[in-house]
Amino acid sequence: MQADEIQELLSGSALVIDNAIIRVEDRGEAKRRLEAAFKTFLLLRDRTDLALDDPLRAQLLLAAAMIEKFLSSRSALALSVSGALHKGLHKGLHKGLHKGLHKGLHKKGTMGAREMQGIGSTEYSWPEIDLPWKHHALLHRCRDAFRWDRLPLPPPPPDGDRLGETKRLLVLQERLLAPDCADRRRRIVLEAGNDLTAYMQPLGADVSAPYGATAMLFQLIVSLGGAIGQHYKARFMAVRPPVLEPDLRPFLPVPGHSSYPSNHALQSWLIAEIFARTVPEHPGIPALFRAAEEVAENREWAGLHVQSDTIAGRKLARMAIPVIEAVLDDQLAAVRAEWY
């Protein structure tokens, strides 16, 4: 596009921001319409012979209505096509300010480790869902379009390497029993059942501001992500760390399905990634990513996964984003509406 063409297009009309409305004022077109209306009006106003159903009479009435509209509101006649600029727009960019806001919200939902001792599902009861059969049906209908069952996830390392990884788990196992790890132990138990507290708290959600659509989205991601993860678990059939290293004493019961990739890592990273894409620049997003990382790592502390399982879960989460976004499109809209 040449400079003179740009200048001509810009000078022919104007984008105007008027409070919460953005509109295009096309100066030339509006003027032409007004002139045409005046001409029509002057030509036809003295025609007393026009029948009720005469098209000319309809034209006269339209012209009169247009002039009337102009006189009552001149801005309305400018070819004014408008849209709303929502009041909550882009609020996240002022991170400094919104961190302040976030802190205020956070106080209600965050407690010290001692205060949290008694917290269970009764204090933080997030919405629960039955099996989301419609979404699962859609996920499977999308299989060939998104090839989510054939994503290029590398196979797990051989058992010898995975056995090497369990050395770290033995160290974590000892540390977990220390008194200062009481809070981590409590969270490991809570997260075993896919409780949403770890993800909701960084966003400023608690019982008084539960953000139901967001909680519902996270539940859906847990369910769909779990299904995708199970597909790869069944494919690779990697044994759990306690099978490789009998000295491991898992903190939780060992699940019956295989180890690679970690579904908790997959689900928690999917939650963080999808939320960050849905509500851009929510001030809690960095904390949400940290929470996702911790939920994934806690499964290593519990002796249920080696690190390569966790890394694979995270990789798979990134690759599964397109299909999850497609399947949950409606829910993403509901979440956006909840925060903006």
Partner 1 sequence: MTELPTELPPELPPELTGIETFTTGADKHPLGKGLRPAFHALWHLKALGVVDDLTNFGGAWASHQPDLGVRVAVIDTPVAHDHPNLEGAIDLALMRDFSIHDEGVFVVPTDDGPIRAARERLVADLSEWTGEGVEDAKRTIEKETAKNDDRPYCRPRSFGAHGTAIAGLIGARPATVDLRKPTFLGEPEEPSDNHALPLPYAGVNPFCTIIPITTSASPDPDMVLAALQYARLIRPDIVVIAAAWEDHRHRKSRWAKVDKALLALCRDSLVLCAAGNSGDIDLAYPACLSVEPDGPIAVTACDTAGNVLAYAPDPKTNDRVLRTLSSWSEAYSSKGVIRDPWKAVDPMIVQPAEDPTMEGHIVDRPAEGLIALDAPGPYGYNPSPFRYRPSGKGPHFDIGSLYCQFSGTSASTALAAGLIGLAIQDRWKSRKEAKRPKDLQPGKAVLTYAEAQKLYS
- Does position 96 interact with partner 1 (CB under 8 A)? The reply is yes
Type of residue numbered 141:
R
Rounded to whole angstroms, how far apart are CA atoms 337 and 340?
5
- Does position 249 interact with partner 1 (CB under 8 A)? The reply is no
Rounded to whole angstroms, how far apart are CA atoms 146 and 331?
19
- Does position 149 interact with partner 1 (CB under 8 A)? The reply is no
Judged by CB under 8 A, the chain residues 286 through 305 that form the site for partner 1 are: 286, 289
Phi/psi class of residue 264: alpha, beta or left (left: φ > 0; alpha: ψ in -120 to 50)?
A: alpha
| 299 vs 314, beta carbon nearer partner 1 | 314
Q: Which of 62, 129, 137, 237 binds partner 1 (CB under 8 A)?
A: 62
- Does position 332 interact with partner 1 (CB under 8 A)? The reply is yes
The stretch among 76-84, 120-128, 203-211, 258-266 that binds partner 1 (CB under 8 A) is 76-84
| 125 vs 340, beta carbon nearer partner 1 | 340
Nearest C-alpha neighbor of 210 from the set 332, 108, 329, 99 = 108
Q: Which of 44, 56, 67, 192 binds partner 1 (CB under 8 A)?
A: 67
- Do β-strands 13-18 and 21-26 pair in parallel, antiparallel, or remain unpaired? antiparallel
- Does position 334 interact with partner 1 (CB under 8 A)? The reply is no
The stretch among 29-37, 49-57, 128-136, 169-177 that binds partner 1 (CB under 8 A) is 29-37
Residue 12's φ and ψ, nearest 5 degrees, are -75, -20
In the structure encoding, which two tokens stand for residue 182, read together? 């009481």
Type of residue numbered 248:
L
- Does position 12 interact with partner 1 (CB under 8 A)? The reply is yes
**In Å, what is the CA distance from 252 to each residue of 155, 188, 191, 305?**
26, 8, 11, 11
In angstroms, give the least distance from the CB of 326 to partner 1.
8
| 86 vs 257, beta carbon nearer partner 1 | 86
